[in-house]
């Protein structure tokens, strides 16, 4: 009969316990929620910088001030968060609109949200890699995840 030798699995068992503890304490869920909030607020800052401050509106700066970030919600197995603006004319500034007495002129959209979200999508992998490495390091070394 072949002899396979002896192995020390204590480090593997320690790692398994660390992952089990992280799952039990919802560390991964909190990590996802925190990361989504961070990205949503980064996007919100970009959107606000791009949003024009209209001087011909009833309240200059109203559109820029009204950008908000929702709470993170769990929808099934997914998480959802929204950047939104409930100012009634926000969609017209974003995508453009007709104007003039006979609605034959066109005002181009500013695409402040569209452009900002495209930037965030390009930046996201870099942020996610850094944060995931930090999370894994914390789990492996028994440190709590940052909150």
pLDDT above 90 (res 113) = yes
pLDDT above 70 (res 145) = no
- What is the pTM (predicted TM-score) of this model? 0.79
**More confident position, 128 or 57:** 128
At residue 68, the pLDDT reads 97
Q: Mean pLDDT in the chain?
A: 87
Rounded mean pLDDT, 77-96: 94
- As a whole number of angstroms, the distance between CA 143 and CA 85 comes to 38
Please count the CA atoms within 13 angstroms of the CA of 8 that sit on its side-chain side: 2
At residue 146, the pLDDT reads 54
Residue with the two structure tokens 């949503």: 40
């Amino acid at each position: 009969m072949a002899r396979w030798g002896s192995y020390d699995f204590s480090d593997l068992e320690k790692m398994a316990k660390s992952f089990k503890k992280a799952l039990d304490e919802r560390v991964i869920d909190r990590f996802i929620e925190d990361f989504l909030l961070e990205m949503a607020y980064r996007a919100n800052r970009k959107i606000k910088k791009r949003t024009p401050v209209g001087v011909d509106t009833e309240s200059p700066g109203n559109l820029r001030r009204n950008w908000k970030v929702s709470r993170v919600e769990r929808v099934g197995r997914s998480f959802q968060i929204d950047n939104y603006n409930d100012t009634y004319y926000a969609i017209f500034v974003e995508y453009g609109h007709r104007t003039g007495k006979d609605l034959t002129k066109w005002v181009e959209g500013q695409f402040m949200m569209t452009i900002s979200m495209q930037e965030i999508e390009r930046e996201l992998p870099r942020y996610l890699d850094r944060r995931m490495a930090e999370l894994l390091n914390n789990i492996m070394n028994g440190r709590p995840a940052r909150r």
